[in-house]
Amino acid sequence: MTGREYPARPFVGIGIVVIKRDHVLLCRRGKPPNVGSWTLPGGAQDLGETCEEAARRELAEETGLTVGPLHFAAYVDTIRRDASGQVQFHYTILDFAARWEAGEPIAGSDVSEVAWAPLDALEPYALWSEAHRVIALARKLVG
């Protein structure tokens, strides 16, 4: 078990949708949970860190990129229960949107690969339905 399994309370996760013209930045997870899955850059908010600071830190750690203004895009609740019905994982994820400004992403901590995925061809990345929803909202904000 990890420190986040079977929690006493939800954890705050932060995600960031970076739009570059007709592409979105995706990361392939390099650590549990969901190793090998494609997702948006992000991770857990640290104690004493604002949501925006967490979004910028996670983006820099996972991709080496920095962005300009951030816009709140959506929240996502993810609750996973084990076979007995107990809550095994519980995250409330706050997703931000930003427009790419400069630089090319390089896979950093927690990710094995990064990619600019075409917004009209996301099927090969097998994203979670909530990621599709958040990307669509982000496009309206910064696209």
Q: How confident is the model at residue 3 (pLDDT cuts 50, 70, 90)?
A: confident
Closest listed residue to residue 42, CA positions, set 68, 82, 79, 76: 76
Instruction: Give the pLDDT mean for 124-130.
Output: 96
Q: What's the pLDDT at 1?
A: 46
Domain at 11-142: CATH code: 3.90.79.10
Residue whose token pair is 């931000």: 96
pLDDT tens string 38-95: 999 999 999 999 999 999 999 999 999 999 999 999 999 999 999 999 999 999 999 9
Phi, psi of 141 (to 5 degrees): -80, -40
Q: What's the pLDDT at 115?
A: 97
pTM of the model: 0.92
Pick the more confident residue, 2 or 76.
Answer: 76
Task: Show the DSSP H helices in 1-143 as ranges.
Answer: 51-63, 129-142
Domain locations in the chain? Answer: 11-142
Q: How confident is the model at residue 2 (pLDDT cuts 50, 70, 90)?
A: low
pLDDT tens string 12-40: 999 999 999 999 999 999 987 789 999 99
Q: Taken in order 136, 140, 142, 143, is the CA torsion positive or negative?
A: positive
Contact 135, 121 (CB under 8 A): no
Q: What's the pLDDT at 55?
A: 98
Q: How far apart are the first and last CA of the chain?
A: 40
